């Protein structure tokens, strides 16, 4: 064996040893990355995890949201209409952005982490066609951050005939077991809960995606605290049309993507010549009604995501539900998804199932995620 081959063999053995040492650790430091459909920005969370007495314990040590530039917002919001070349180019460049953001975050907070776990940014999600695609090249993130990266969590589940979504429920089950329902109000509203020791979860309806679209027509980024919606009136014809959409008649597993919003939901909104205030008021009522249709047993509801700050929507949910509503600390409200994707990366790293067939409809539970490892 020549010197170069011996050197490469030694590097390979050192990498295997590094993997084994990390897998044997009792405590993990991981950066979770989340970029949601509402384009609020890149959520970065430095999280620690350890398993004690068969229970996972976690802490968000540092967290921040890196706002996207107007150029990136425009680019991400229209990418599904661009060429394959532009899609590939943006995947690489967005990965560079994520990697550079992590590198800066680590330097600023003077932290040491084991690896980065990235959800990416969803451009296509059409599980009926066997298709899902989240941009943010894991190779680019690893090269820029100089850290191992876990990413592409949805593809294996799609290949196993599942929806590839939602992915958060196993994190909900293992990190937030004390709550009966875990409701996330992001671009879409989604929920998870246990039914006879089986985890069930699914997307419910659009939430911030619809509200932000309408707020944008008023040149506002979002409807702060739902005050614009509060000033409007319910349009019962619009509410009826929204409530009668076919998606709401489907049984779970089921998931929603931006394509469905653009092709099905948005045209219903656009068809009505009423004030934006009235549309926002009607949307909030619609979201509250659809959420409360899913809450059928006694207990409490943990609410996270940007929609947890929509005071008016929370009031409407309380109107239709008599259960205790829990809105946790701002760190959990804002960074729960980044926290859970850090945790999903940990499960992938350890070879544990991180995607549940009871949630996605896949033919089996699976260990989703690709791993990229830089040499240094």
Residues 24-51: pLDDT tens digits? 578 999 999 999 887 889 999 999 999 9
pLDDT at 4: 55
- pLDDT at residue 14 is higher than 60: no
pLDDT at 2: 63
Shared-domain flag, residues 260 and 193: yes
What SS3 class is residue 307?
helix
Determine the Cα–Cα distance for residues 161 and 150; give it in Å rounded to an integer.
22
Task: Classify residue 253 as left (phi > 0), alpha (psi -120 to 50) or beta.
Answer: beta
174 located within any domain: no
Model confidence over 112-152: pLDDT tens digits? 999 999 999 999 999 999 999 999 999 999 999 999 999 99
Count of domains for the chain: 2
- pLDDT at residue 10 is higher than 80: no
Model confidence over 283-313: pLDDT tens digits? 999 999 999 999 887 899 999 999 999 999 9
pLDDT at 20: 47
Q: What is the CATH number of the domain that holds 352?
A: 3.30.420.40
Residues shown for the chain:
376
Cis peptide before 53 (omega within 30 of 0): no
Determine the Cα–Cα distance for residues 59 and 108; give it in Å rounded to an integer.
19
Mean pLDDT estimate for the chain: 93
Tell me the mean pLDDT in the region 347-369: 97
Shared-domain flag, residues 50 and 128: yes
Shared-domain flag, residues 240 and 297: yes
Cα–Cα nearest to 331, from 27, 65, 108, 31: 65
- In sequence order, what DSSP letters do the residues of 92-123 get, joined into one string? HHHHHHHHHHHHHHHHHHT---SEEEE--EEE
Shared-domain flag, residues 134 and 238: no
Lowest mean pLDDT among 19-33, 63-77, 98-112, 302-316: 19-33
Lowest mean pLDDT among 51-55, 85-89, 103-107, 290-294: 51-55
196 located within any domain: yes
Q: Where would I find the beta strands (DSSP E) of the chain? A: 27-35, 42-52, 55-66, 115-118, 121-126, 131-135, 149-151, 181-185, 188-195, 198-206, 300-304, 324-326, 370-372
- pLDDT at residue 15 is higher than 70: no
Q: Report the number of secondary-structure helices (H) and strands (E) in the chain.
A: 15, 13
Spatial CB neighbours of 143, under 8 Å, sequence gap ≥ 6: 99, 374
């Amino acid at each position: 064996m020549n010197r170069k081959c011996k050197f490469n063999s030694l590097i390979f053995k050192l990498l295997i040893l590094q993997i084994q040492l990390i897998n044997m650790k009792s405590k993990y430091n991981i950066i979770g990355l989340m970029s949601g459909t509402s384009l609020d920005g890149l959520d970065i969370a430095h999280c620690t995890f350890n398993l004690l007495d068969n229970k996972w314990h976690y802490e968000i040590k540092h967290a921040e949201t890196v706002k996207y530039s107007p150029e990136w917002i425009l680019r991400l919001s229209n990418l599904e209409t661009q060429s394959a070349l532009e899609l590939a180019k943006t995947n690489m460049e967005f990965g560079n952005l994520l990697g550079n953001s992590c590198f800066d975050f680590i330097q600023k907070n003077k932290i040491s982490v084991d690896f980065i776990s990235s959800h990416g940014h969803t451009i296509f999600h059409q599980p009926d066609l066997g298709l899902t695609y989240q941009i943010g090249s894991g190779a680019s993130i690893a090269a820029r951050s100089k850290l191992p990266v876990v990413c592409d969590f949805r593809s294996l589940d799609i290949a196993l005939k599942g929806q590839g979504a939602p992915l958060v429920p196993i994190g909900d089950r293992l990190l937030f077991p004390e709550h009966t329902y875990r409701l996330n109000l992001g671009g879409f509203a989604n929920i998870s809960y246990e039914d006879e020791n089986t985890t069930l979860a699914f997307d419910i309806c659009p939430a911030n995606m619809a509200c932000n679209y309408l707020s944008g027509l008023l040149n506002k980024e979002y409807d702060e605290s739902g005050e614009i919606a509060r000033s409007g009136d319910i349009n019962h014809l619009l509410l009826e049309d929204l409530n009668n959409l076919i998606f709401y008649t489907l049984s779970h597993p089921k998931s929603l993507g931006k394509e469905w919003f653009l092709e099905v939901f948005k045209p219903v909104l656009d068809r009505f010549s009423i004030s934006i205030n009235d549309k926002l008021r009607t949307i909030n009522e619609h979201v509250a009604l659809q959420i409360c249709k899913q809450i059928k047993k006694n207990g409490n509801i943990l609410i996270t995501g940007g929609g947890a700050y929509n005071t008016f929507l929370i009031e409407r949910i309380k109107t239709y539900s008599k259960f205790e509503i829990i809105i946790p600390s701002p760190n959990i409200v804002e960074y729960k998804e980044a926290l859970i994707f850090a945790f999903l990366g940990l499960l992938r790293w350890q070879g544990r199932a991180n995607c549940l067939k009871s949630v996605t409809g896949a033919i089996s539970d699976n260990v989703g995620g690709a791993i990229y490892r830089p040499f240094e």
